Structure 1
Amino acid sequence: MTDLGPLNYFLGIHVTRTASGLFLSQKQYAAEIIERAGMPTCHPCRTPVEPGAKLTSHGPSVKDPTLYRSLAGALQYLTFTRPDISYAVQEICLFMHDPHEQHIHALKRIIRYIQGTIELGLQLYASSPTILVAYSDADWAGCPTTRRSTSGYCVFLGNNLLSWSSKR
């Protein structure tokens, strides 16, 4: 067995040791997604989702959904260190089988949000209380077409985010 030294980069996740613990970031991967989308000079936006917006299956379909599917899959991997985009990414992934123009606009909004928050990541603290706390929420039949609910949760052990999910 070989000791490779302290962990600093693994599976696209950059690990930075700080006095308070570890900071996990996918800044380089996020920059590659922005570049692949052809949006390196886009104007950032403050939120990953348009407030109050609901995606539906109406409108013109995209002729070639390959880029949409590729970017949506890449954004799914980015949620490993960016729980702030979990809900938005889950929403666009619901339409990977038949994306429409409004879905591409939603995907581009997420990318614009990432452009403005590319420095964000996941902080893991070295020592914190060992209290397990969980939060959950649901919108109860919030989808305008299927009347299905979207729910989400996050679980903390002390100050460390352990698990999170958002799904319909």
Structure 2
Amino acid sequence: MFLSQHLYTLELLERAGMTDCKPCSTPIDTNAKLFAEGAPVADATDYRALAGALQYLTFTRPDISYVVQQICLYMHDPIESHLALIKHVLHYIKGTMDYGLRILRSSTHNLVAYSDADWAGCPDTQCSTSGYAVFLGDSLVF
């Protein structure tokens, strides 16, 4: 893992006041769905700053891409349950700081992409959620 990514992750945890948090093993509860209604967060600017920092981290951490996308859906009007999800992701990051993309030497230079969709998975809008992975040779590049 790059030293700069490690330092960025430590800075992110420090900014959130979570440097001593307990790690967890998953970035999101797969059974829970986010809703648009609830108690608003005390400071929406902090929520947006943490969401943006997580969004930047997805360049080298595709394992958090889905949950960060879900967090960013509510940047305009975040509620406490959305902030709790950010904190859950930070717990996950604390336990997986050595995760990241690795570019490996490969005998092939094929570009292969996979995609998936969750049809009407959003409880508020009934919109679909999709995701994808792109490999160059044996290395995941996005």
Question: Do both proteins adopt the same fold according to a TM-score greater than 0.5, normalized to the shorter chain?
Answer: yes
Larger radius of gyration: 1
**Structure with the higher helix share, 1 or 2:** 2
Structure 2 counterpart of 1:136, from 90, 115, 138 = 115
SS at match of 1:124: coil
Q: Which of the two has greater strand per residue?
A: 1
CA offsets 1:36-59 (integer angstroms, 9 cap, x no match): 000111111111101211111111
- Percentage of matched positions with identical amino acids: 59
Q: Secondary structure at the match of 2:83?
A: helix
Aligned equivalent of 1:66? 45
| RCO comparison, higher one (Cα < 8 Å, 6+) | 2
How far apart are the structure 2 equivalents of 1:66 and 1:86? Answer: 21
CA RMSD of aligned residues (A): 1.5
Give 5+ residue unaligned stretches, structure 2: none
Count residues with an aligned counterpart: 142
Deviation >6 Å, runs of 4+:
none
Q: Which of 125, 129, 140 is 1:146 aligned to?
A: 125
- Which residue of structure 1 aligns with residue 105 of structure 2? 126
Measure, in 1, the Cα distance between the counterparts of 2:122 and 2:92: 23
Which runs of 5 or more residues in structure 1 are unaligned? Answer: 1-12, 16-24, 164-168
C-alpha distance in 2, partners of 1:48/1:26? 18
In structure 2, the residue matched to 1:14 is: 2
TM-score (norm 2): 0.94
Deviations 1:123-144 (A, max 9, x none): 1012332232211111000001
Cα distance in 2 for residues equivalent to 1:52 and 1:27: 30
Query: TM-score when scaled to structure 1?
Result: 0.80
